A and B are shown apart, each in its own frame.
Chain A
């Protein structure tokens, strides 16, 4: 990258910078006119200079051709001007002033907007270039950088550049021009005084930058320490398990404290020096007038200098310090930005970058790979030039099934990296179909070859997006009109040197997955899920997922049919007592009081079960229905039981967490309340205590907690309150809750809750299993299982796949790799967290699917190699044996040793 920010800015924004410069120059005459005009208004318009005689007029807006006398020998008047009396003149001058104010304002607006735009464009370009470089970092280099440091560089450290770029050229020219003019004027008035002023300015411009050298060094340190702090914070988050598991939080605190201390000292020193320089700067600026007053004054007294000239010099000097000061400030900013820029780009210049031509979006994956994979003297060295893979030679067919076995650290992993084109060999060659792998474009290595590692990453987003990730290489079909990035948007991207790739276009290469389009790709996804045994998991995700009935009316309608079918089937098998269905007119003893009152799914947090006790609308309904006292009574009964049975348990006992309505911290308070109720009745309680008790019954589930609080009468009153609350909600909060209706799909509830339309009865042996099985049967009968799985495909996997377990993550990574039907599949211990039989099943099934297509698999369990055509045995980075399973087991071999060692 260009090491000098000025050259970088000039190269990418020359035209814009020149336009800004021209605009600045064009604005100057208007600016000076507007400065001069007030004097004219006061003198002529108000005080009446030139209007001494009544009825006298003055010429306004007379335009003479400039330099006409020199050119033609006589003045040329273009416009004779208007002859105006005093009030007319005043108004004319005032309106001229107003017009100049507008013109100046418009100039400022246009110039600043243009400066802003050129700055933002260049910032966009720079950020893209930096991020683009990360995409081109070779993997071994990427492993050495800290992600949070990289992020903070692209995000924060280059940010100030945006503000500076617009001023990069215009400001110094403008200010420099101003200063030079003032200086020239002083020189004309008095050469010697001019020389003094120039001397001070020169001294200033010599001294100040020298004083600032140390500030620059500190600035560099400040940037580095702040970046390292960001890196450390990233590390603390990545290593959170180790930090907490080793009780190392205080060690980390100490580390943070020492870093912050360093940053403090650096920043404080910068401040001290900055203000000292400022002080010196001001002092020097005032030194010149001192010389003028003292020296010039003496000269004037002694008659060597004309007093008029001295006054003119002093007047001219007032225009000098401010542009000089601003220039010095600009220079400071320039150095600052230059340092930031250098510091950032320095981190983005690794010894090697992937050639952009290899990643070009229009590269052709070419015909299917065929022929042989040949490694000759294939060698890979690490940073320290230590060999990881040493001079390996082998030849296998592209379509062969190859197992790589060996102890860990034998170089197997590195070999697979090279085979997948992820790491370039240090020496020797690796050829596929006669072509060197490190010269193949990524369109070939990333599409014709699939790679799955043990710790495959998943991107935050849906399962579907993660499965399809392997099919998105370039935009294939333009997005629908409404979504497509507009012509303007893409043109702007090009102006900032960004590629015009539209993220909203359809990128999915359906054909590569063996599908024809968006409609049948889902079938392929499900096939892959079946193959890797992930279908059951996705089905369960689907059951807990929600569907927008407007988008999928078929699913919503199917769910309603399933609701009826489930209850019919349960009735048939005599299990209809396992689900207690919701009914608008009856109390559900298997649901909490809160759920019974709301009788619907909350759409806003204020109506969530946990928040209902504090909801003012609910409190109002309870009060109007005379239930407040009843709730306090129930609360008192619950509190009494809790106080009684948890009394002897030590605080922090797990039972509190598991069973209690009351946390161990609050228990003493409730004990006091219960005692008070016992001695003086609930009426004697204060407002806070009543509110505490009022909140308790909301979570109470009669069938589970069995305190006998909800008798038939109370149940009827609660149902009454439910209707009342519903009316109130429909009036005041129509969007807050989606009510349970037996004939309608509830968009806010999960598929499973929609089908069950009730609660599992507590305490029925095996209820969950029976209901789960029956539900599955019903969905199969109605042909809805696939729809549920489709909903499951929308499940958000979380950051880094955090909402999946490790087995699911590995299976998902395999499914993604299989989906793109590559010519070669490289699997690097990607089933390691599965149990033995799971591994066996998966390997067999994948090899079966890929009959005739290449598979290269590093095996953790060497005996599985029996399923492969060829086995490569690695040890200490060397290929020690190769051959078929029979060959290698037929004689005394290292392979036999590996199998035996297991």
Chain B
């Protein structure tokens, strides 16, 4: 059997993700410890577009395709690889999944359930502040992009 990745390595990966970057390692370790590591075979779905979101995934290893339902069938719009987080919007806003995600290669993820995620936010408010900061930063970027697009017209 392939030597499994230990929890400390998972924490290392979590720290490379912006929304978790500034959070204490001990708390990330708790999150990793309380989360299930789930492995997908190539072609297996993590979730489908339109489903209710109940978990976010962090890619530990492998790549995944992001597909959107088009008129001619699913359309591949992006690819996700190591150290990226998938599906956090659906659990934060409680909206249906906006895309389908499918394993492209053998894919190892850390599955963080919505329940765990909110519990962590509640117990460690500083984590919430960190996430707010990252999201605000994203919003600011999006707004700036929008302004550029508008200016270009």
CA distance A646 to B124 in the complex (A): 12
Minimum C-beta distance from A872 to chain B (A): 44
CB of B36 closer than 8 Å to a CB of A = yes
B26 A708 Cβ-Cβ under 8 A: no
Minimum C-beta distance from B14 to chain A (A): 13
Q: Which residues of B contact A641 (CB under 8 A)?
A: 7, 29, 33
B6 A706 Cβ-Cβ under 8 A: yes
Minimum C-beta distance from B27 to chain A (A): 7
Q: Which residues of B contact A653 (CB under 8 A)?
A: 123
Q: Which residues of A contact B119 (CB under 8 A)?
A: 654-655
CB of A645 closer than 8 Å to a CB of B = yes
Given A706-B6, A708-B8, A645-B26 contact (CB < 8 Å): yes
B26 A648 Cβ-Cβ under 8 A: yes
CB of A293 closer than 8 Å to a CB of B = no
CA distance A659 to B34 in the complex (A): 6
Given A648-B124, A707-B7, A763-B37 contact (CB < 8 Å): yes
Q: Mark A755-782, 1 if CB is under 8 A from B, else 0.
A: 0000000111110000000000000000
Nearest B residue to A574 via CB reads B41
Nearest A residue to B28 via CB reads A645
Minimum C-beta distance from B145 to chain A (A): 35
Q: Which residues of A contact B27 (CB under 8 A)?
A: 645, 648
Q: Which residues of A contact B34 (CB under 8 A)?
A: 655, 658-659
Minimum C-beta distance from B105 to chain A (A): 14
CB of B10 closer than 8 Å to a CB of A = yes
Within 8 A of A (CB), among B8-34: 8, 10, 26-27, 29-30, 32-34
Q: Which residues of B contact A659 (CB under 8 A)?
A: 33-34
Minimum C-beta distance from A653 to chain B (A): 7
A705 B44 Cβ-Cβ under 8 A: no
Interface footprint category on A: 20 to 34
CB of A703 closer than 8 Å to a CB of B = yes
CB of B149 closer than 8 Å to a CB of A = no
Minimum C-beta distance from A664 to chain B (A): 14
Nearest B residue to A646 via CB reads B30
CB of A312 closer than 8 Å to a CB of B = no
A765 B123 Cβ-Cβ under 8 A: no
CB of B40 closer than 8 Å to a CB of A = yes
Q: Which residues of B contact A707 (CB under 8 A)?
A: 6-7
Nearest A residue to B103 via CB reads A765
CB of B98 closer than 8 Å to a CB of A = no
CB of A80 closer than 8 Å to a CB of B = no
Minimum C-beta distance from A765 to chain B (A): 5
CB of B4 closer than 8 Å to a CB of A = yes
Q: Mark A609-641, 1 if CB is under 8 A from B, else 0.
A: 000000000000000000000000000000001
CB of B144 closer than 8 Å to a CB of A = no
CB of B1 closer than 8 Å to a CB of A = yes
CB of B38 closer than 8 Å to a CB of A = yes
B4 A703 Cβ-Cβ under 8 A: yes
CB of B78 closer than 8 Å to a CB of A = no
CB of A649 closer than 8 Å to a CB of B = yes
Given A641-B29, A647-B26, A648-B27, A762-B7 contact (CB < 8 Å): no
B36 A762 Cβ-Cβ under 8 A: yes
CB of A167 closer than 8 Å to a CB of B = no
CB of A509 closer than 8 Å to a CB of B = no
CA distance A650 to B4 in the complex (A): 31
* B interface size (C-beta, 8 A): 26
CA distance A702 to B27 in the complex (A): 21
B38 A706 Cβ-Cβ under 8 A: no
A765 B40 Cβ-Cβ under 8 A: yes
Given A653-B123, A764-B39, A644-B26 contact (CB < 8 Å): yes
- Residue from B10, B37, B46, B123 in contact with A649 in the complex, judged by beta carbons closer than 8 Å: B123
- Residue from A646, A658, A706, A765 in contact with B7 in the complex, judged by beta carbons closer than 8 Å: A706
Q: Which residues of B contact A655 (CB under 8 A)?
A: 30, 34, 119
Given A702-B4, A707-B7, A763-B39 contact (CB < 8 Å): yes
Q: Mark A653-666, 1 if CB is under 8 A from B, else 0.
A: 11100110000000
Q: Which residues of B contact A654 (CB under 8 A)?
A: 119
Q: Max chain B CB contacts within 10 Å: which of A654, A655, A705?
A: A655
CA distance A359 to B5 in the complex (A): 72
Within 8 A of B (CB), among A694-727: 702-703, 705-708
Q: Which residues of B contact A644 (CB under 8 A)?
A: 26, 29
CB of A589 closer than 8 Å to a CB of B = yes
A765 B33 Cβ-Cβ under 8 A: no
Q: Which residues of B contact A708 (CB under 8 A)?
A: 4, 6-8
CA distance A649 to B6 in the complex (A): 23
Q: Which residues of A contact B6 (CB under 8 A)?
A: 706-708
A766 B44 Cβ-Cβ under 8 A: yes
Within 8 A of B (CB), among A638-691: 641, 644-650, 653-655, 658-659
A648 B37 Cβ-Cβ under 8 A: no
Minimum C-beta distance from A651 to chain B (A): 13
Minimum C-beta distance from A704 to chain B (A): 8
Q: Which residues of B contact A647 (CB under 8 A)?
A: 26
Minimum C-beta distance from A133 to chain B (A): 56
B26 A765 Cβ-Cβ under 8 A: no
CA distance A373 to B129 in the complex (A): 75
Q: Mark A571-604, 1 if CB is under 8 A from B, else 0.
A: 0001000001000000001000000000000000
Nearest B residue to A766 via CB reads B44
Q: Which residues of B contact A705 (CB under 8 A)?
A: 7, 33
Minimum C-beta distance from B9 to chain A (A): 9
B29 A706 Cβ-Cβ under 8 A: no
Nearest B residue to A587 via CB reads B1
Q: Which residues of A contact B37 (CB under 8 A)?
A: 706, 762-763
Q: Which residues of A contact B46 (CB under 8 A)?
A: 765
Minimum C-beta distance from A853 to chain B (A): 46
Minimum C-beta distance from A508 to chain B (A): 49
Minimum C-beta distance from A195 to chain B (A): 96
Given A706-B4, A706-B6, A765-B39 contact (CB < 8 Å): yes
- Residue from B1, B4, B5, B38 in contact with A765 in the complex, judged by beta carbons closer than 8 Å: B38
Minimum C-beta distance from B3 to chain A (A): 8
Minimum C-beta distance from A39 to chain B (A): 93
Q: Mark B93-113, 1 if CB is under 8 A from A, else 0.
A: 000000000000000100000
Q: Which residues of A contact B30 (CB under 8 A)?
A: 645-646, 649, 655
Q: Which residues of A contact B124 (CB under 8 A)?
A: 648
Given A655-B34, A659-B34, A706-B5 contact (CB < 8 Å): yes
CA distance A766 to B30 in the complex (A): 24
Within 8 A of B (CB), among A228-273: none
CA distance A378 to B119 in the complex (A): 62
CA distance A2 to B39 in the complex (A): 78
Minimum C-beta distance from A624 to chain B (A): 28
CA distance A574 to B8 in the complex (A): 31
Q: Which residues of B contact A649 (CB under 8 A)?
A: 30, 123
Given A644-B29, A648-B27, A589-B38 contact (CB < 8 Å): no
Nearest B residue to A702 via CB reads B4
CA distance A645 to B8 in the complex (A): 12
CA distance A538 to B26 in the complex (A): 45
Given A647-B26, A648-B27, A653-B123, A763-B36 contact (CB < 8 Å): yes
CA distance A766 to B47 in the complex (A): 12
6 A-B pairs (CB sep. < 8 Å): A648-B27, A706-B4, A706-B7, A762-B36, A764-B39, A766-B44
Seed contacts A589-B1, A648-B26; 10 additional CB < 8 Å A-B pairs: A580-B1, A641-B29, A644-B26, A645-B29, A647-B26, A653-B123, A655-B30, A655-B119, A706-B32, A765-B39
B contacts, CB < 8 Å to A: 1, 4-8, 10, 26-27, 29-30, 32-34, 36-41, 44, 46, 108, 119, 123-124
A contacts, CB < 8 Å to B: 574, 580, 589, 641, 644-650, 653-655, 658-659, 702-703, 705-708, 762-766
Among all A-B residue pairs, the 8 with the closest Cβ atoms: A708-B6, A645-B30, A763-B37, A706-B7, A765-B40, A645-B29, A763-B38, A659-B34
